[in-house]
Amino acid sequence: MPAHTTRPSWWRRATMASATGMLLLGCAVDSATDEQTDTTATSTPRTVQPGAIAIELLDGTVPVVMASVGGGDPVPLLLDTGSAGLRIFTDDVGDQAVVDPATEDETISFVDGTTYVSDKAIAPVTLGSVALPAPVPVALVREVTCEPEASACEPGIDASKASGVHGILGVDMDTGDYTLPSPLLYLPDFRSFTVSYLDEQAGELRPGLPEDDPIAEWDLIPVDSGVPDVDGWAQDFDACWALKGNRPSCLPTSFDTGSTDLVVPPSLPGAPPPSGADEYLTADQGPVELFAAQGDGEPIWRLQPGDDASDSAYVGADGDLGYDGVLAGAPLFYAFDVGFDQEAGRAGLWPTSGGG
């Protein structure tokens, strides 16, 4: 399972059902990012704030968090805001994990055709320097296979580890089709959290939200969190996008650390006709613009497509993932600090803490 592919390979197909969240009016448009603003990362490493969880960026696009499960040695897990649940390869787990023999196997397939087969367990978990207060549900992945049509998939746990990722840390607040909740929901300080890419190598997962008002924010849809007495929210919401100066269209949108690119659907006006394969946008096919509310006013973000991690964008194949919306991946997280508000059920964008 390569760390960077021509499509957001970490997305599970079953999570991509359309959602129709209500758009909340944005504010502070004057602080918007446009094509004159340098949103690329600085080469100077930053120090992670006390209480935050450190993120390493593999290849500049794949965020991983070092995690210890069951008392085992820390290993890198993909930080995925688009899925729920911690999934780790069995041989990376310590002996404090307790498998529940009464549960059925969990089988999950990802968009590149990679399939995880797992046992359910309860285990103590430490994320970076933050230890969860009690053991939580996890999935112990014992087998990695490939669907027959998945030409880019490599079967086997060793092949997956070669990508630098030993599993997935899904922090979506919606269990949805998933059988495990986000481990962050067991940490009251991290139920609302902010993802900040500090430079091209590192970032941090911070508890809570920035103190300043967001540039824009969107209402999320109430759903089941999977944790008793804790509210859950879908990560998909309606946001308005435009390509190459066309009239904005409001589409289901996900702010997804699991996607290495900004992915727009072929239905977005101005998109090249579907070619049957993922098609990267060139500079003259942009810009891609994001609007705060219903396409009114000036865009809050304008991305000119290019070849770097901070400006990589493509058009998904027709019906890609069964999701006719926008997956805002690495380029968005380079441009903004992205917050997920569990208490109020909102996703928002703040000025980036990274270099520029």
Confidence of residue 50 (pLDDT cuts 50, 70, 90): confident
pLDDT at 7: 31
pLDDT in tens, 95-109: 999 998 888 888 888
Which residues is 216 bridged to in the sheet? 349
Confidence of residue 42 (pLDDT cuts 50, 70, 90): very low
> CA–CA separation, 170 vs 226, rounded Å?
13
At residue 297, does pLDDT exceed 80? yes
At residue 38, does pLDDT exceed 60? no
pLDDT at 323: 64
Phi, psi of 189 (to 5 degrees): -70, -25
Mean pLDDT throughout 340-351? 96
43 compared with 151, residue with greater pLDDT: 151
**Residue indicated by tokens 């041989």:** 91
84 in Cβ contact with 124 (< 8 Å)? no
pLDDT at 84: 93
pLDDT at 154: 82
Confidence of residue 27 (pLDDT cuts 50, 70, 90): very low
Q: Which of 52-66, 112-126, 237-251, 264-278 has the lowest mean pLDDT?
A: 264-278
Can you give the pTM of this predicted structure? 0.84
pLDDT in tens, 153-204: 788 899 889 989 999 999 999 988 778 999 999 999 999 999 999 988 999 9
At residue 278, does pLDDT exceed 70? no
327 in Cβ contact with 241 (< 8 Å)? no
266 compared with 293, residue with greater pLDDT: 266
At residue 213, does pLDDT exceed 90? yes
At residue 115, does pLDDT exceed 80? yes
Please state the domain extents for the chain: 53-207
> CA–CA separation, 10 vs 203, rounded Å?
19
pLDDT in tens, 216-262: 999 999 999 999 999 999 989 999 999 999 999 999 999 999 999 99
Amino acid residing at 207: P
pLDDT at 319: 52
pLDDT at 230: 96
- In the chain, % of residues over pLDDT 70: 80
Q: What's the CATH class of domain 53-207?
A: mainly beta
At residue 13, does pLDDT exceed 50? no
